[in-house]
């Protein structure tokens, strides 16, 4: 697995007084550095090392979010009253409940 394919984020940490590099697929890993570039390079190296270690130990390496396939479907549990209200709103707007919720989520 190429460590560069993972989802990275670099942000300022007031607590540490440095930038922190993070990887979504490896939430337990981070890297502190005085610059954004150094924080990104650091976390990519740490993830690459973790991937190599996991592969050597025959552990399952997380698949990068960028290469995962999504069906476009997910279930959400909501109170029956909210379900009813959304269904009524969809009917009033002349759209399906799925379309109404999808439009609201993307807004």
Same domain, 43 and 7: yes
Partners of 23 in the β-ladder: 8
The answer to whether residues 29 and 43 touch, using CB atoms and an 8 Å cutoff, is: yes
Same domain, 10 and 60: yes
Give φ, ψ of 50 to 5 degrees: -65, -45
Same domain, 60 and 82: no
Q: Summarize pLDDT for 50-60 with one digit per residue, the tens.
A: 999 999 999 99
Same domain, 47 and 92: no
- DSSP output for 79-104: -HHHHHHHHHHHHHHTS-HHHHHHHH
Residue whose pair of structure tokens reads 């942000």 in the numeric block: 11
Same domain, 22 and 40: yes
Once rounded to an integer, what is the mean pLDDT over residues 71-81?
94
Same domain, 74 and 32: no
Same domain, 7 and 45: yes
Same domain, 62 and 85: no
- DSSP output for 8-61: EEEEEETTTTEEEEEETT-TT-EEEESSHHHHHHHHHHHHHHHHHHHHHTTPPP
The answer to whether residues 34 and 13 touch, using CB atoms and an 8 Å cutoff, is: no
* Predicted pLDDT of residue 1: 82
* Predicted pLDDT of residue 25: 98
The domain containing residue 91 runs over which residues?
70-106
Once rounded to an integer, what is the mean pLDDT over residues 77-87?
96
Counting the structural domains of the chain, the total is: 2
Domain of 60: which CATH number?
3.30.160
Same domain, 53 and 80: no
Instruction: Give the sign of the dihedral formed by CA 31, CA 43, CA 48, CA 27.
Output: positive
Q: Summarize pLDDT for 5-47 with one digit per residue, the tens.
A: 999 999 999 999 999 999 999 999 999 999 999 999 999 999 9
Q: Would the pLDDT of 61 be above 90?
A: yes
Q: Would the pLDDT of 86 be above 90?
A: yes
d(CA 107, CA 99) in angstroms, rounded, equals 12
């Amino acid at each position: 697995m190429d460590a560069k394919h993972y989802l990275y984020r670099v942000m300022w940490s007031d607590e540490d007084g440095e930038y922190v590099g993070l990887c979504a697929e490896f939430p337990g890993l981070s890297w502190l550095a005085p610059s954004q570039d150094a924080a990104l390079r650091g976390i990519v190296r740490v993830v690459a090392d973790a991937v190599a270690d996991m592969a050597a130990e025959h552990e399952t390496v997380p698949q990068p979010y960028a290469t995962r396939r999504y069906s476009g479907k997910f279930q959400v549990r909501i109170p029956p009253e909210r379900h009813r209200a959304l269904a009524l709103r969809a009917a009033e707007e002349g759209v399906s409940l799925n379309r109404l919720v999808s439009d609201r989520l993307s807004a």
